[in-house]
Amino acid sequence: MKINYCDALVIGGGLAGLRAAVAAQKKGLNTIVLSLVPVKRSHSAAAQGGMQASLGNSKMSDGDNEDLHFADTVKGSDWGCDQVVARMFVHTAPKAIRELASWGVPWSRVKEGSREAVINAKKTTITEDADRHGLITSRDFGGTKKWRTCYTADATGHTMLFGVANEALRNNVDIRDRKEALSIIHENGRCYGAIVRDLITGELEAYVAKGTCIATGGYGRVFKQTTNAVICEGIGAAIALETGIATLGNMEAVQFHPTPIVPSGILLTEGCRGDGGILRDVDGHRFMPDYEPEKKELASRDVVSRRMIEHIRNGKGVPSPYGFHVWLDISILGREHIEKNLRDVQEICQIFNGIDPADEGRKGWAPVLPMQHYSMGGIRTKPTGESQNLNGLFACGEASCWDMHGFNRLGGNSVSETVVAGMIIGNYFADYCLSNDVTIPTSTVQKFLDKQDSYLNEILTYNGTEDIFRIKNRMQNLMDQKVGIFRDGENLKAAVDELEELLKKTKQINVKSKERAGNPELEEAYRVPRMLKVALCVANGALQRTESRGAHYREDYLKRDDANWLNRTLTSWPDENQTLPTISYEALDIMTMELPPAFRGYGAKGMIIEHDLSEKRQAIVDEVTEKLQAEGKDRHEIQHALMPFDLPMNYREKNERAGDL
Amino acid sequence: MSIEKGREITISVLKFNPRSKVSKPHFVEYKLEETPGMTLFIALMKIREEMDADLSFDFVCRAGICGSCGMVVNGKPTLACRTLIANYPTGILQLMPMPAFELIKDLSVNTGKWMDGMSKRVESWIHNDHEVDISKLEDRIDPDVANETFELDRCIECGICVASCGTILMRPNFVGPVGLNRVARFEVDPHDKRTAEDFYELIGDDDGIFGCMSLMACEDHCPKHLPLQNKIAYLRRKLVALR
């Protein structure tokens, strides 16, 4: 048995994993990153539109600060997030973006003088002040009070990923790609690393570490129609689940993005609407103002996605061989703007659909339809990023339920979370590795390796009639049809039942090639059962949650039910012979919230079943705020009095802004 | 986008597993029906699911952003995910793995290993001793300079320029257009304090900037349309002036 020892093991080489690895390496730890693919090819690269951070440099973001970013994030989450974590996040985001600038991310900058912009379908002139020239600029995104989304044209994730990956190289982080973690090594409630398969040679190895951090991204590929890369299969969450100890949080919280292009599902960034693009129906009518008169196309993603489907159901969709869709019109932004700031969008439309979106009129409209986009759920952690149940197992980024997104994530908050969580959790993770030893016998490691080895051999001996690709496709179609944007009890129950059957059928397949290396079907055969467990957590969590909150929308329970459902779903898999997850709930405490539950400011009104404590807590918050204001305290002191929070390193320092100077 | 029956297409793939004692390089032909908007990503997934579960290839984003799926299609290196079958009037596509990279199996090549070596060789990171206080206002950068850096930072390390490169056939240790572009990117970035002299140390030889024969197939095939020709010429002028 080959055992690789290290101080800190990071599984997943996207933005979150790499940034966490840099944090660990900088604290003197011997750090290894394992990745399915060369790290610069991670799904982080696909983030187009930008990263939220309240710098407040540009005209339209002037006056922005952590408080506004916090409120937008909590409202976006439909009060499902952990408000302490949201505070930790918004406070560190400006630091993250400035750090990335020093690592070479070529953020688009403020240019003094006047320029034309399209706001609410009208040409408007914006004039930037000379004293802001050269600072990092920002664009508009859905669900935000200010223009807060910083960007590098529409390749933000790409430039961030290269910046962080290059920094990892500079710090001599040991990065090993084409490696897949198959299981977590653990004993007596503590994690000691992972059993890993080399995707080139097929060899199994053990990686033993003082601490392990999972940063493997989301589980979008359990759905058919998704913007996610093909590697986003939720395997990191699945192997945490398979420990039987670690829990997953809010797996039913799945975001559907309004504007992937039809039929390929490739995302057209929210920046299209942020920059002034609009949605049109079969008659060419701009319909969003009819439903959301205030925020229009820039309400939160869950709201816009539902309104689009609602409008299609009202008979206003555009027919196509792939079903109905609506149009995204960015031609009104003008060719110059598109060719500078939305070039990748233009390329995607040209290459995959033969459309030039800069062409004026109907010719330039792109067919779009909401599809799965983001996984709010993931490995449930404490604010430090450590699993609530399995010591030494950390998670960050989309793989985790940290939980700053609750039931809906705001555009621009995900790439922002990756690097911010990498900074915060990476440092807590490093501290754990510094103060704990490896105390596991090699015989235990051998036992975990042998188990995976015999599992792979067992798969190759299956001699059934089922086909793993057909099982996977059926799962994905079920998730789209019955666990999608609109959900109800009957369909969810049917989905859970059939997914459970599919999980059983994964043992009745026949893998044609018996090779242990270079055998794509074998890889599907061990991944799909793990994906099905994740899908079962999503579907079952959705079935049990009899309310509508954020992206989780039940047509048979239309209201957000704070009285009964202000909690987080926890799923676990304590016995490997189970065919359904075990579910429990973790309550959210209104009396410690800085922002007690209320109306989000968009979406339908009067759709909340209030909790008794919301009003009570609001009265306390108002009283404390008024009192401290009268005493002349500043916003930082008032915030601290309402809901204190900690951060590692010097991240608690105040963020300087041009507007303060 | 019609819903009529599509034409029959033929996809011929060079299959070979260098780790197998029995495998020999050979072409395998797959015939399938074209569907509207079919890309090589869709076609290859269909082949794997329905005809040959043993066929190896690499895709990640399937949207032309991650650079995983470079392969040689009818003699030209290109991103498979952005290759529309409809653009091939004969309906016959011959696929081969990209040359210059270590072959893993069939269409899968180890670009990651090559790019990692290149990144370390040109020290593909910001060189700056100045400790930045991330709680303070960021350094100001002229918007046009930031944009110029971004333009060169758009490289996705797909390896298509390397697979197109004539020089690398003669000089296997050539840093490649991607490596030279990387140097050009840091040269223009004001955050990086390296001088022309420092860059000369990295690429000032025949395996670097003076090795390029200016055949320029790199720029012809670059899926991101990077200005490789201009940038290589610029670097060469700048570095040759030092000696």
Residue A245 has pLDDT above 70, yes or no: yes
In this prediction, residues A309-332 reach a mean pLDDT of 93
| Nearest residue in B to A99, CA atom | B134
Q: Is A352's CB within 8 Å of B58's CB?
A: no
Residue A429 has pLDDT above 60, yes or no: yes
Q: Scanning every residue of chain B, which has its alpha carbon at the shortest distance from the alpha carbon of A349?
A: B63
Give contacts of B189 with chain A, Cβ < 8 Å.
Answer: 104, 106
CB contact under 8 A, A38 and B154: no
The verdict on a CB contact (< 8 Å) between A38 and B157 is yes
Residue B112 is predicted with a pLDDT of: 96
User: A73-76: long-range contacts (C-beta < 8 A, 24 or more apart)?
Assistant: A73/A404, A73/A405, A73/A410, A73/A413, A74/A406, A74/A595, A75/A143, A75/A300, A75/A595, A75/A600, A75/A601, A76/A143, A76/A300, A76/A405, A76/A406, A76/A408, A76/A409, A76/A410, A76/A413, A76/A550, A76/A600
* pLDDT for res A141: 86
With an 8 Å Cβ cutoff, are A264 and B37 in contact? yes
Taking contacts as CB-CB distances below 8 angstroms, the residues of chain B near A98 are: 132, 134-136, 138
Q: State the Cα–Cα distance between residues A23 and A519, nearest whole angstrom.
A: 36
Contact A41 B115 (CB under 8 A): no
**Element (DSSP H or E) covering residue A167:** helix A156-170
Contact A45 B116 (CB under 8 A): no
Q: Report the alpha-carbon distance of residue A480 to residue A428 in Å, rounded.
A: 37
Rounded to a whole number, what is the distance in Å from the CA of B107 to chain A's nearest CA? 12
Q: Region A391-413: what's the mean pLDDT? A: 96
Q: Is A306's pLDDT higher than 80?
A: yes
Chain A contacts of B19, Cβ < 8 Å?
A: 200-201, 517-518
What does the alpha-carbon distance between residue B42 and residue A325 come to, in Å, rounded to a whole number?
21
Residues B79-106: what's their mean pLDDT?
A: 96
pLDDT of residue B2: 46
Largest pairwise CA distance in chain B? 66
Nearest-CA distance A427 → chain B (Å):
16
B221 close to B166: Cβ distance less than 8 angstroms:
no
User: For A56, which residue in chain B has the nearest alpha carbon?
Assistant: B137
* Cβ contact, residue pair A162, B149, below 8 Å: no
Query: Chain-centre distance of CA A248, in angstroms?
Result: 14
Contacts of A175 in chain B (CB under 8 A): 116
Catalytic residue chosen out of the listed positions A197, A273, A280, A307: A273
Taking the CA atoms of chain B, what radius of gyration do you get in angstroms? 21
Task: Give the model's pLDDT for residue A596.
Answer: 98
pLDDT reading at A499 higher than 60: yes
CB A102, CB B126: distance < 8 Å: yes
**Average pLDDT in the A361-385 region?**
96
Cβ within 8 Å, pair A103-B142 = no
- Give the pLDDT band of residue A300 (cuts 50, 70, 90): confident
Task: Inform me whether the pLDDT recorded for B3 exceeds 60.
Answer: no
Phi-psi region of B109 (alpha: psi -120 to 50; beta: other; left: phi over 0): beta
Contact indicator for A338, A271 with CB cutoff of 8 Å: no
Contact: B61, A654; criterion CB under 8 Å: no
Q: Which residues of A touch B63 (CB under 8 A)?
A: 46, 264, 266-267, 348
Backbone torsions φ then ψ of A345, nearest 5 degrees: -60, -45
Q: Render B135-154 in DSSP notation, one character per residue.
A: TSPPPP--HHHHHHHHHHHT
- B155 near B181, Cβ under 8 Å? yes
- For residues A227-248, average pLDDT: 98
Note the pLDDT tens digit of each residue in B179-234: 999 999 999 999 999 999 999 999 999 999 999 999 999 999 999 999 999 999 99
Q: Which residues have a Cβ under 8 Å from the Cβ of A198 and sit 6 or more positions away? A: A178, A179, A204, A205
Inter-chain contact B104–A518, Cβ cutoff 8 Å? yes
Nearest by CB to B104, which of A200, A266, A658? A200
pLDDT of residue A511: 97
What is the per-residue pLDDT across B97-139, written as a single tens digit (0 to 9) for each?
999 999 999 999 999 999 999 999 999 999 998 889 999 999 9
From the candidates A224, A230, A475, A660, which should be mutated to test the interface with B, based on the most B CB atoms within 10 A?
A230
CA distance A159 to chain B (A): 7
**Å between A564 CA and nearest CA of chain B:** 40
- Identify all chain B residues contacting A26, using CB atoms and an 8 Å cutoff: none
Task: Tell whether omega for the bond before A263 is within 30 degrees of 0, i.e. cis.
Answer: yes
For residue B117, what is the nearest residue in chain A, using CA coordinates?
A169
Distance from CA of A528 to the nearest CA of B (A): 14
Separation CA B207–CA B215 (nearest Å) = 15
Q: What pLDDT sits at residue A130? A: 96
If you average pLDDT over every residue of chain A, what do you get? 96
Q: Return the axis-axis angle of helices B111-121 and A156-170, rounded to nearest 10°.
A: 60
- Chain A to chain B, count of Cβ pairs less than 8 Å apart? 209
In 3D, which of A200, A201, A206 has the Cα closest to residue A181?
A: A206
Q: Which residues of B touch A353 (CB under 8 A)?
A: 37
- Which residue is closest to A468 within chain B, CA to CA? B49
- CA of B149 to nearest chain A CA: how many angstroms apart? 6
Known active-site residue A273 = yes
Please report, as a single letter, which amino acid is at residue B115.
M
Pairing assessment for the beta strands B103-105 and B26-33 based on DSSP bridges: unpaired
In the residue annotation, A474 being an active-site residue is answered as no
Nearest CA in chain B to A131: B140
Cβ pair A41:B112 closer than 8 A? yes
Distance CA A21, CA A423 (A): 9
Q: CB A155 to CB B62 under 8 A? A: no
Is residue A395 within 8 Å of residue A428, measured between CB atoms? Answer: no
Give the nearest partner residue to A102 out of B55, B132, B186, using CB atoms: B132
The CB-side HSE value for B111 (13 A sphere, CA atoms) comes to 29
Condensed to tens digits (0 to 9), the pLDDT of residues B5-50 reads 889 999 999 999 999 999 999 999 999 999 888 999 999 999 999 9
Give B6 to chain A, closest Cα distance, Å.
13
Q: Name the active-site residue from A158, A221, A257, A380.
A: A257
pLDDT in tens, A452-465: 999 999 999 999 99
Q: From A519, which residue of chain B is nearest by alpha-carbon distance?
A: B54
The pLDDT assigned to B37 comes to 85
pLDDT band at B4 (very low <50, low <70, confident <90, very high): low
At residue A48 the predicted structure's pLDDT band, cuts being 50, 70 and 90, is confident
Q: Tell me if A152 and B128 make a contact (CB, 8 A cut-off).
A: no
What does the pLDDT read at residue A618? Answer: 97
